[in-house]
Amino acid sequence: MNYMPGTASLIQDIDKKHLVLLRDGRTLIGYLRSIDQFANLVLHQTVERIHVGKKYGDIPRGIFVVRGENVVLLGEIDLEKESDTPLQQVSIEEILEEQRVEQQAKHESEKLKVQALKERGLSIPRADTLDEY
């Protein structure tokens, strides 16, 4: 049953496991249960995966309803290949800690950069959110 050949449609992806990247940078993994014409998604058994370096941690989130405009991309996960990943899974606490450390380091370097620029009389406005309009 091939709905809409020649088009991109999410109908074929229903009930399959997907990885969804959101505009705020989050990565969700879950079973796509329902869609609508705006590509709003209903994800089932969703897990938010946080990646830091070579490690990742999963936070189970349950059911997600994602507004379509917030999705950057999504792709089906091959269940057979899912486990061959070079990444190492760690506990939630650990990954959150790692993330915090990474954010801190980024913040520090950013601060130094801004300082250096200020000394040279330049100021670059920071983008506070991921989206820049």
- Would you tell me which residues interact with another protein (CB under 8 A)? 2-7, 9, 11, 14-17, 29, 31, 33-37, 42, 44-45, 47, 58, 60, 62, 79-80, 82-83, 89
Nearer to another protein, 92 or 116 (CB): 92
Rounded to a whole number of angstroms, the minimum distance from the CB of residue 13 to another protein is: 11
Contact criterion met (CB below 8 Å) for 75 and 18: yes
Nearer to another protein, 9 or 104 (CB): 9
| Cα distance between residue 55 and residue 116, in whole Å | 32
> What letter does residue 127 receive in the DSSP assignment?
P
- Across the strands, what pairs with 66? 41
Rounded to a whole number of angstroms, the minimum distance from the CB of residue 14 to another protein is: 5
Rounded to a whole number of angstroms, the minimum distance from the CB of residue 70 to another protein is: 19
* Cα-based distances in Å from 125 to 13, 88, 103, 119, 122: 41, 36, 19, 15, 10
Q: Could you give the 3-state DSSP secondary structure of residue 95? A: helix
Nearer to another protein, 38 or 112 (CB): 38
Rounded to a whole number of angstroms, the minimum distance from the CB of residue 36 to another protein is: 6
